[in-house]
């Protein structure tokens, strides 16, 4: 068992470095410039530009910025926002409880839906009900979560106005309905081997 774990850990190192590299460059390819927005808040003077360039290491070559990025992640330092200068790690940590709750509700709904439709389909193999359950399963597997989530928002939040489209309402239960339904229809598979 130990050689298997060690081998998997060694294989994951290049994968993690690749993900870090892609993430780093995608952040720099996004349209718009957060530095310009931060400069607007500070008056946009050349001194403010130079200070922000130095503070966010934008005056260094890309490989030095990437090394600093990896070193910061290794220390648990996710940096700070360019607008406002707030640390990013506490911002993410403040959202973890709601993310965890959403994951639990989605897993529960997926389990109930899967067991129910599987039992119904198994009770009448080859019937209209069996084929209907298969069609629903194929639809759930083939539909991207983001698209299904947008369609749920459009129908139930914008058109029918039954549920909130954002988490502005004080009711946690109402805020969980649409995202948990969107997530429960798309199971996550982990690869092994």
Q: How confident is the model at residue 187 (pLDDT cuts 50, 70, 90)?
A: low
Mean predicted lDDT score pLDDT of the chain? 83
Collapsing DSSP to helix, strand or coil, 81 comes out as coil
Residue 60 has a pLDDT of: 86
Contacts (Cβ under 8 Å, ≥6 apart) of 33: none
pLDDT in tens, 3-45: 888 888 888 888 888 888 898 888 777 766 667 766 776 677 7
Neighbours of 84 (CB within 10 A): 8
Please provide residue 80's backbone torsions phi and psi, each rounded to the nearest 5 degrees: -135, 160
DSSP per residue over 62-106, as a string? HHHHHHHHHHHHHHT---B-TTT--BHHHHHHHHHHHHHHHHHHH
Which residue, 129, 147, 132, 128, is CA-closest to 185? 147
For the cut 50, the answer to whether the pLDDT of residue 189 exceeds it is no
Average pLDDT score over residue span 168-184: 86
What is the pLDDT confidence band of residue 66, given thresholds at 50, 70 and 90? confident
pLDDT 10s digits, 123-160 = 989 899 889 888 888 888 888 888 888 999 999 999 99
The model's pTM: 0.63
- pLDDT more than 90, % of the chain: 17
| Neighbouring C-alpha atoms within 13 Å toward the C-beta of 144 | 3
What integer pLDDT is reported at residue 190 of this predicted model?
A: 40
Q: Do residues 83 and 34 lie in contact, with contact meaning Cβ atoms separated by under 8 Å?
A: yes
């Amino acid at each position: 068992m130990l050689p298997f774990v060690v081998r998997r850990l060694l294989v994951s190192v290049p994968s993690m470095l690749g993900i870090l590299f892609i993430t780093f460059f995608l952040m720099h390819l996004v349209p718009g410039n957060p530095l310009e927005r931060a400069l607007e808040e500070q008056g946009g003077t050349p001194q403010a530009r130079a200070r922000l360039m130095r503070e966010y290491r934008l005056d260094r070559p890309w490989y030095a910025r990437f090394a600093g990025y990896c070193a910061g992640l290794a220390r648990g330092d996710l940096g700070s926002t360019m607008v406002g200068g707030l640390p990013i790690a506490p911002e993410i940590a403040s959202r973890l409880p709601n993310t965890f709750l959403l994951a639990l509700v989605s897993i529960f709904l997926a389990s109930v839906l899967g067991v129910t439709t599987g039992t119904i389909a198994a009770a009448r193999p080859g019937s209209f009900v069996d084929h209907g359950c298969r069609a629903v399963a194929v639809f759930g597997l083939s539909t991207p979560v983001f698209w299904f989530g947008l369609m749920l928002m459009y129908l139930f939040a914008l058109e029918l106005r039954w549920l909130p489209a954002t988490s502005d309402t004080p009711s946690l239960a109402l805020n969980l309905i649409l995202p948990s339904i969107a997530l429960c229809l798309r199971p996550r598979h982990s690869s092994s081997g």
